[in-house]
Amino acid sequence: MVAGEFDWLAPTPDRAQFRVTQALAYGCSLPLAMTMSASIASPSTDTEIIEQRVRALLDEMTLAEKIGQMSQVNVGDSYIHDYLAEGLRAGRVGSVINEVNVDVVNELQRIAVEESRLGIPLLVGRDVIHGFKTVMPIPLGQAATWNPDIVREGARVAALEAATVGVNWTFAPMIDISRDARWGRIAESLGEDPYLASALGAAMVEGFQGDDLAAVGTIAACAKHFAGYGAAESGRDYASTNIPENELRNVYLRPFKAAVDAGVLTLMASFSDIDGVPATGNEFLMRQVLRDEWQFDGFVVSDWDSIRQLRIHGLTGNDKESAFEAATAGVDMEMHGDAYGNHLEELIEAGRISVDRIDTAAANILRAKFRLGLFEDPYARPEELPEIADTNAIETARTAALQSVVMLKNDHDTLPLSVEKLDSIALIGPLTDAPYEQLGTWIFDGDPELSITPMHAIHSLVGHDIDVRYVRAMENSRSQSTEAFGEAVDIARDSDAVILFLGEESILSGEAHSRADISLPGAQAELVRRIRATGKPVVAVILAGRPLTLTNIVDEVDAILFAWHPGTMGGPAIADLLFGVESPSGKLPATFPRMVGQIPIYYNQKNTGKPPSPETIVHIDDIDAHAPQLSLGMTAFHLDAGYTPLFAFGHGLSYATFNYERITTSAADIELGESVTIGVELTNTGAFTADEVVQLYIRDLVGNVTRPVKELKGFRRVRLDPGESTTVNFELHTDDLGFYGRNMQLMTEPGEFHAWIGGSSETELRTEFRIIAGD
């Protein structure tokens, strides 16, 4: 198709009358025709009006048309003028996925709206995970910003760009809690902590959906994967999960509840089974928790073909039974599958599924379409939206990348590098100049031509003041060849400093890309050792989609910037940090293990009855062969790894030095239903203006069920000049300290609490307070 080919793209002045005429021509009742006219004449933002329209439309729909709303078709499988067009005219399709040609999308909408009996517009889905053309850092990198504002703005940029081609529904945010870095999809997650993931997930929802769901440039968000997907056994994608209900409610469900509270329009069911029942057929999750307890009134979509996969799981014997289980559980729409289309009508005729269940599912989907304003105008109008990669998009991507980079170590103040003090630098490694790889996973539409790589950004920053030498050294991050290492050593030896760009290519993380060994792949560790032997200062910049085990190289480099996959503007962000234009301010959203055998390792663990301490552990190399077994400490640790991580949750260094002192509480005792303010004095005692992410942790010392040793309950990004001080306060209501007890009810108990404020989960600056029962 040729752009501009369709004259129907122009707004129609008498569109309301057209819809009335269309509806009557297809035999619809006059009330429905007038309802459709009203939906054109005025925005459909009032909840009561929307419900009236949904009900009126349902009353006119045939059973086949209702089931059609529950079906999503992959455009890549069906050409517009054949099967798909026929299905649209017959009302057998409620949504399409994976089409980003604006003319094709608008033609699909035209057929659905103008050539079907009821003129119901389409939901057009696409995985817009961390950007569309302009790519933000991977979600795990965005989590490292600890900045809901930049996360929200990144999602807004993605929505505006995706809307230019007619996408009105994205399958993000992914808010699965993950404590296993082997899992490939940790890259798409917001880390290991339910509080941080809740805050940032809600911000993403707000960014995609905006203040007005019907506004141009707004797209529906989809919180996924409901629920527990991130706990896959051994970090193997799609593997089973076994999560006790108490843990499920206290950890894994909390980000989804936050997304629902933020108004997310849709949720996606998880691929995996949870305690023996795949999420796609899990009535406890979809009905009891989501609908009955949370009162969610959006709709649930399956993951890709996951309804038919219930048979492969072994839950059902055939596709018909799979359709029965999914529909009964409460999955409203089938993504890329035909179990619903082929079998729901038969199941209804047999009396196994009620028409009310189908009505509920169809109503949930129609409600979302009305809220999005698709009945008013379903078409993409790129001329009304910002240009792709406009100034705001690029600046948002740069800020997000800048704030996402975590400085893991900086021995002897190796960083920042000084343009004035260096005559030459060596840039070495397979990710120095890799515009596609820096974008990360799940970037179907990301444009690598927009990427500015670290090599180009460094050249631009230093100009002709420093001689910049470059050797790729390895074909890719997985290469075992050391053939080019000699050249790399030569330029390192002849340079004043070395910057190694290491890590993982984008394909090594993401869906189905799990790893058992999460150290640097290929011969990268050997490259580090050879460069270290030159005696020159060595900085490692690591681009990766997950936390890595860096034990074998951490002592071989002077400084480490962990940049995740930083997106379109990763290069300028990294260059600014390397040369001190800005100070690193990212904080880890997930724990870095010393070795893979420590996994799962996370900061908010339980204390156990035998908690380890430095005094109670013995390293395997220090065991006295003649000592009795009890001399080994008898506490919860590994003989060869201890009990601490390599880098803790919340860790991240700065070029500034921040001093925390005088932690206070507004009251020693508070009653249930009251609040306490916990504060600290923060001073920048260094020489750089910098941001610090101030973190509040608490511990409930005694509970109806055992509670974690620390829990994040607040954070704030604060910018201070050298010598500047401020007081940072956090207000905690007793409801914020609630947890699910043995009866699976949310509760806050009276008792003693510890509270810490600092720059990471390892902070030791502590105070106490107590909750007392009221009269």
Catalytic annotation, residues: 303
Strand pairing of 299-301 and 266-269? parallel
**What Å distances lie between residue 529 and 315, 412, 471, 501, 536, CA to CA?**
51, 19, 16, 14, 12
Task: Enter the DSSP assignment of 84.
Answer: I
Rounded to an integer, what distance in angstroms lies between the CA atom of residue 443 and that of residue 551?
30
Rounded to an integer, what distance in angstroms lies between the CA atom of residue 375 and that of residue 774?
52
* φ, ψ for residue 493, nearest 5 deg: -65, -30
Helix (H) or strand (E) holding 501, with range, is strand 497-503
Task: Enter the DSSP assignment of 673.
Answer: T
**What Å distances lie between residue 704 and 147, 711, 719, CA to CA?**
33, 16, 40
User: Are the C-beta atoms of 35 and 26 separated by less than 8 Å?
Assistant: no
51, two tokens:
């419900």
**What Å distances lie between residue 381 and 102, 161, 164, 349, 578, CA to CA?**
9, 11, 6, 43, 42
Rounded to an integer, what distance in angstroms lies between the CA atom of residue 576 and that of residue 419?
12
Give the 3-state DSSP-derived string for 169-226, with helices as H, strands as E and coil as C: EECCCECCCCCCCCCHHHHHCCCCCHHHHHHHHHHHHHHHHCCCCCCCCCCECEEEEE
CA-nearest of 409, 405, 406, 404 to 557 is 409
Cα angle 515, 517, 520; round to 5? 100
Q: How many helices (H) and strands (E) does the chain have?
A: 21, 26
* φ, ψ for residue 649, nearest 5 deg: -55, 135
> Is residue 769 helix, strand or coil?
strand
User: Are the C-beta atoms of 163 and 380 separated by less than 8 Å?
Assistant: yes
